[in-house]
Amino acid sequence: MSGSFDANREDLVVGVIGAGAMGQGIVQVSLQGGMRVVLFDAKPGGAAAGADLVAQRLDRSAERGRLEPDAVAEMKTKLTVVDDLSGFAPCHAVVEAVFEDLDVKHAVYTELEKHVTPDCIIASNTSSLPISSLGRPCAHQTRFAGFHFFNPVPLMRLVEVIRGSSTEDWVVEGLVKLGERMGRTPVVVRDHPGFLVNTGGRAFTTEALHILHEGVAVQAQVDAVMRDCAHFRMGPFELMDLTGVDVNYPASLIMHEQNSYDPRIRTVPFHKSLHDAGRFGRKTGHGNYRYDEAGKMIDPPSPDHVSDAAPAERVFVAEGSEIFSDLLAGTAMTEIDDGESPIVAALYGEDCSTFAARRSLDHTRLVAIDPTGDLSKRATIMTPPGANPAARDAVAARLNANGRAVVAIKDSPGFIAQRMRAMIGNLGCEMAQIQLATPEDIDLAMRLGLNYPLGPLEIIDDFGTALAYRIMSTMQEITGDDRYRPSPWLRRRALLGLGAKVPS
């Protein structure tokens, strides 16, 4: 079957099945796009209640001057509540937004197809179920696709248009135009477990959990570094507590399984411990942090390393002298080891132990500093096992004297921000490699869907592909873990000196 769909027709009718939070949001943006909307919910009275809540939100927008009162009054007249799916007969597109149960969704589509025309687009707002599996019972699978919004729909600009194995071009093109009319920014995504945003978002949380699991740093340290040095709005553990461990832990298991147990997706036992203990985050008052009834963090631990040591007067610069003139201003820097002063090094992907052994240095005096990211407010330092705390404290005191807060961590390939940003970027490269979406749409989706300061491929270009490849390769070599294997997309562009977004 081939059809046509004009998203800009004046008499366009959109159906929404499910009047929960997501369904209400889809109704609202459809009305604001000038469309007529038909709403159904299987729960008696559910559709009417959902419609009332949409009307209340539109009224509040008018009161705050965001919408014209006359426009809101007209929108309300375009919303119709129906008692069964036969009321969807006039619809040109229907968006299903019921709970994530394959059998329930299949039953909805089977019944729906009895009432809509063959060229009516049927789309699912699913966030996790494969589009090809969802469309299997449809008599016309070619007009079925994913249309994945983000909560809260009226505020989140992104919508993923997911092409199933049978979806025809006119459906994808129609949903893109429909998303634009709803005021959203559509990205076209290939059918894949977790689609684009939920796949790309794995690295932020799971790599932070691995850093914690390995005893490298605690939650407050990781969160502070990712906010101050990498410019994320929230740290990964703060975000985990906000979304809820009861949500993100099961999602991590599903994503790991559906991606053939790819080690880049796996979580750690601590994540399970939080879940099993019922420490879900803000909603329970305790997750990675403790919260009061208003959701405010109680006595958040300080991430800062503090000592009463005197600032280092002299250091031996073993590697990375170009960054130390600012960070360690006021310190005499030498390239000759006097056998007493702290040894400082700027490392990429390497840990202190490997570097000290490779260079035959006195590891007890070695203090490594992450040279990547924004170092204007905070710096991350690490030391190897057996290090002399006096060397660490003297370097930290000098950084403090020069206006930087300091996070002091245990030995780790890639520190915190360097390691996490490289993992986020590498996963973005892998999504480009498997053609999940275009490089441009991968970056756009991650910025809009997760509020990332840069998209994954933009992060790689911020490093430079050669350096990003070096970081990933070094971390894989040191850990022996394929979790850190560089994507072929990254490797090829690094070897050829190309940018991360250069197409295949």
Q: How does pLDDT run across 463-483, given as a tens digit for each residue?
A: 999 999 999 999 999 999 999
Q: How does pLDDT run across 257-273, given as a tens digit for each residue?
A: 988 999 999 999 999 99
Q: Look at residue 128 in the predicted model and tell me its pLDDT.
A: 80
User: Containing H/E element for 365?
Assistant: none
Q: Look at residue 100 in the predicted model and tell me its pLDDT.
A: 87
Percent of the chain with pLDDT over 90: 94
Q: Label residue 286 by pLDDT band (50, 70, 90).
A: very high
User: Reading across the β-sheet that carries 378-382, which strands appear in turn?
Assistant: 332-334, 314-319, 343-346, 366-369, 378-382, 405-409
Give mean pLDDT, residues 129-136: 92
CA dist 452 and 416 (Å) reads: 17
Examine the pLDDT at 402 and tell me if it is beyond 90: yes
Q: Label residue 1 by pLDDT band (50, 70, 90).
A: low
Give mean pLDDT, residues 383-399: 98
Residue with the larger pLDDT of the pair 254 and 467: 467
Cβ neighbour number for residue 127 with a 10 Å cutoff: 18
| CATH of 13-191 among 3.30.365.10, 3.40.50.300, 3.40.50.720, 3.90.480.20 | 3.40.50.720
Structure tokens at 268: 């750690």
92, 148, 271, 305: the active-site residue = 148
Q: What length does the chain have?
A: 504
Residue 187, beta-bridge partner list:
160
Structure tokens at 35: 């469309």
CA dist 287 and 58 (Å) reads: 35
Q: Look at residue 2 in the predicted model and tell me its pLDDT.
A: 65
Q: Determine the Cα angle at 11 with ends 155 and 108, to 5°.
A: 65
Q: Look at residue 322 in the predicted model and tell me its pLDDT.
A: 83
Examine the pLDDT at 452 and tell me if it is beyond 80: yes
Percent of the chain with pLDDT over 70: 100
Question: Residue ranges per domain, the chain?
Answer: 13-191, 314-409
Examine the pLDDT at 285 and tell me if it is beyond 90: yes
Q: Of 173-187, 311-325, 452-466, which gets the smallest average pLDDT?
A: 311-325
Q: Of 111-115, 124-128, 216-220, which gets the smallest average pLDDT?
A: 124-128
Q: Label residue 107 by pLDDT band (50, 70, 90).
A: very high
Give mean pLDDT, residues 204-229: 98
Q: Look at residue 4 in the predicted model and tell me its pLDDT.
A: 83
Task: Clarify whether 148 is annotated catalytic.
Answer: yes
Q: In 3D, which of 367, 362, 485, 348 has the Cα closest to residue 430?
A: 485
Give mean pLDDT, residues 327-352: 96
Give mean pLDDT, residues 44-71: 96
Give mean pLDDT, residues 222-245: 97
| CATH number for the domain whose boundaries are 314-409 | 3.40.50.720
pTM: 0.92
Q: Look at residue 20 in the predicted model and tell me its pLDDT.
A: 94
